[in-house]
């Protein structure tokens, strides 16, 4: 799942894909590099300038239509607002990435109405665009499982296709670095629920704090290490800024696990 931010203030690229041309170029590049899903976001996840629903729609809706006209790819929109979900659904979106854990309960109903997929993310009940402060859990993974499975089951009850629902442990969202590390090593408990697991690891703060790397631009190696572990433990979808590097990482893990043959096997044959 390639990340394409339609924001002027994203934490990693600082607005590199805010303009239509840059964003369309980024989508084309991501598809060429092996992305099966493109995730379009119109609001920075962290604190920042206020972005109302009308502005979020302006940033995303027509762009979704443009991508739909150009590419045979699954189009995801990262939003927590039902009114945004309804508009992008009409423009051709396939998946609503509810990164704020059901904050707007009507978003799942929109996904059901339009037959879209839904990502159910754990945030511990955090308000959108807020940072965690002294968050505590008796058992963070038990809370992840309870909340995400509950949202997934509610979505299906509303009419979202069962095979189009994913759960996301929500690294960094409503969590300390220790919580995110624990959620990573206990991914098998999420896999055991039977819902496909999406992880959004790319250049996040838990990677930076773990390795004492402040700049997101320097967190690729840590991200790929977390990606490798998550893949080995059974996660299925990877939201990433670096598509080619992530694709190679996942292919290598799949080959070691015996799920993918080598692209070439000439060594020792000549």
For 226, the token pair is 């977390």
Q: Is 204 an annotated catalytic residue?
A: yes
User: Which of 186, 189, 183 has the alpha carbon at shortest distance from 204?
Assistant: 183
**Active-site pick, 147, 204, 219, 247:** 204
Q: Tell me the three state secondary structure of residue 72.
A: coil
H/E stretch holding 95 reads: strand 95-98
CA distances from 180 to 28, 82, 122 (A): 31, 27, 11
Pure H helices in 119-168: 140-158
**Active-site pick, 81, 86, 239, 247:** 239
Angle between helix 177-185 and 140-158 (nearest 10): 70
148 within 8 A of 121, measured Cβ to Cβ: yes
How far apart, in whole angstroms, are the C-alpha atoms of residue 264 and residue 174?
Answer: 43
What's 148's DSSP letter?
A: H
Q: Is 44 an annotated catalytic residue?
A: no
CA distances from 117 to 2, 8, 94, 169 (A): 16, 27, 6, 17
For 158, the token pair is 């509303």
230 within 8 A of 249, measured Cβ to Cβ: no
**Catalytic machinery residues:** 204, 239
């Amino acid at each position: 799942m390639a990340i394409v931010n339609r924001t002027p203030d994203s934490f990693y690229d600082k607005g590199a894909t805010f303009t239509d041309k840059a964003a369309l170029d980024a989508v084309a590049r991501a598809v060429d590099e092996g992305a099966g899903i493109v995730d379009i976001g119109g609001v920075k996840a962290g604190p920042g300038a206020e972005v109302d629903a009308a502005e979020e729609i302006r940033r995303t809706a027509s762009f979704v239509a443009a991508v739909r006209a150009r590419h045979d790819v699954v189009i995801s929109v990262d939003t927590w607002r039902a009114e945004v979900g309804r508009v992008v659904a009409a423009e051709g979106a396939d998946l609503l990435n509810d990164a704020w854990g059901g904050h707007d309960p009507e978003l799942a109903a929109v996904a059901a109405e339009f037959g879209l997929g839904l990502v159910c993310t754990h945030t511990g009940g955090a308000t959108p665009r807020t940072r965690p402060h002294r968050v505590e859990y008796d058992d963070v993974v038990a809370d992840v499982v309870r909340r995400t499975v509950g949202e997934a089951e509610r979505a299906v009850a509303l009419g979202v296709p069962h095979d189009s629902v994913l759960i996301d442990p929500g690294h960094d969202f409503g969590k300390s670095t220790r919580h995110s590390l624990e959620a990573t090593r206990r991914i098998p408990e999420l896999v055991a629920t039977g819902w496909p697991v999406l992880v959004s690891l790319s250049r996040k703060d838990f990677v930076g704090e773990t390795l004492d790397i402040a700049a997101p631009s320097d967190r690729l190696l840590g991200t790929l290490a977390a990606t490798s572990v998550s893949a080995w433990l059974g996660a299925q979808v990877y939201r990433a800024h670096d598509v080619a590097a992530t694709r190679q990482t996942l292919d290598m893990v799949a080959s070691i696990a015996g799920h993918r043959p080598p692209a070439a096997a000439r060594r020792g044959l000549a």
